Amino acid sequence: MDGRTDTGSKADTEKQEAAQGGADRTANGGSRRILYMKGITKDYQLGNEVSHVLKGIDLTVNRGEFLAILGPSGSGKSTLMNIIGCLDVPTSGFYWLSGKRIADESQTSLAHIRNREIGFVFQSFQLLQKQTAYDNVELPLIYANMPARQRRERVEEMLRKVGLADRMRYYPNQLSGGQQQRVAIARAISTDPTILLADEPTGALDQKTGEQVMALFHELNGEGRTVIMITHDRHIASHAGRIVRILDGNISEGEIGDA
C-alpha cells in the first residue's frame, strides 16, 4: 500500500539506506546526489488482479544532470514520473529527494515538496486558460507564499528568461504551442526547484519548436539545473547527458543504441 511495509522488517536496511541517501550532503559539503531511489515498486489493484507496474527501481540522480527516462507507453514511466514528482507514493522502496525521505507524507507536506523541489513541465502544457502568462507563472510563487513585490520581479525575470517578456499579458490561446510550453517552463522554474521534471515536453509540438524547447532545457541545464525528462522518443532522449531505459517496470542504464 505504501512505503510503510518496509519499516518493521527492514529497519536496519533503512538506516543503512538513510546513510547512503542522505549522507552525501554532509560528506561533500554540498549535495551532489539529489535523488536516490532504491527498490521502488508500485502495485495497482485491478479488480482481483494486482498489476505490478514498477518492479524495484533503483535510480540515482546527481545535481546538474540532464537525465532522460526512455520507455515505450505502458512501461511504467508515467508512474515513475508521478513518484519522482511526489504526486504518488510507492508501494515499497525508498525515495530520498534533497536528503529528505519521501514516504507517508501528508497531502499538505507533499504539496510543499512539489512546490519547492519539483518543477513540472507537461506534454499538454497545462496552463490555466483563463489566466495570462504572467498569472500562470505567478501561481507556484503564490503557493510558496512569496511576498507580492518579490513575486512580480521573479515572474518578470522568468518570462524574460524564456524569451516571452513581451507576452506577459497574453492568454494561452493567444500564444503558439512553443510559446505556451515556454510559459510552462517559466512556471516550472519559478520557485527554483531542485528538479525540473518534464513529461514528454515536446510531444505536442512540431519538430522545429520541439528543438527550440530542447534548446531551452539545455540552457537551463547549463546553468546548473537538474533536468529529468520522460519520453518515448529516442531522438528527444538523445539531448540528455544520460539515458536510463525503463521497460516493463524495470530500469536499466543504457545508450540510445540499446533501444
Partner 1 sequence: MLNFGVIRQSCRMSVTNIRSNKMRSFLTMLGIMIGVAAVIALITIIKGVTDSVMNRFSGLGADTLTISAPGTSMKTGLTDNDIALLGEVEGVSGISPTVSLMTTAVFDGTAYDKVSVEGHNTDYFRHNDILQNGRVFSEADMTGNSMVCIVDGNFVKNILLGKQVLGAKIRLRGYEYTVIGIRKESDSVMSQYTDRSDQDGAVIIPYRNALNMAGSSNVTSLEVYVDSAYDNADVEKMLRSELDQIYNNADNAYTIINMESLLSMIDQVRTLMSAMMGGIASIALLVGGIGIMNMMLVSVSERTKEIGLRKALGAEPLRIQAQFLIESIVLSVFGGLIGIVLGIFIAYIASIIMKTVFSLSMPAIALGLGFSIGVGVIFGWAPAKRASELNPIDALRSE
111 near partner 1 (CB under 8 A): yes
Q: Check residue 198 and give left, alpha or beta (phi > 0: left; psi -120 to 50: alpha).
A: beta
CB of 46 to partner 1, least distance (A): 15
55 near partner 1 (CB under 8 A): no
For residues 80 and 68, give the distance between their C-alpha atoms in angstroms, rounded to a whole number: 12
142 near partner 1 (CB under 8 A): yes
CB of 70 to partner 1, least distance (A): 21
76 near partner 1 (CB under 8 A): no
151 near partner 1 (CB under 8 A): yes
Cross-strand partners of 36: 60, 96
Residue range at the interface with partner 1 (CB under 8 A); choices 58-66, 83-91, 209-217, 226-234: 83-91
End-to-end CA distance of the chain: give it in Å, rounded: 32
Q: Which is nearer to partner 1, 130 or 208 (CB)?
A: 130
Q: How far is CA 42 from CA 56, 57, 105, in A?
A: 8, 10, 17
88 near partner 1 (CB under 8 A): yes
Q: Report the 10 Å Cβ neighbour count for 83.
A: 22
For residues 42 and 39, give the distance between their C-alpha atoms in angstroms, rounded to a whole number: 10
> What letter represents residue 185's amino acid?
I
**Which residues would be at the binding site for partner 1 (CB under 8 A)?**
82, 85, 87-88, 107-108, 111-112, 114-116, 120, 122, 126, 128, 130-131, 139-140, 142-145, 148, 151, 187, 191
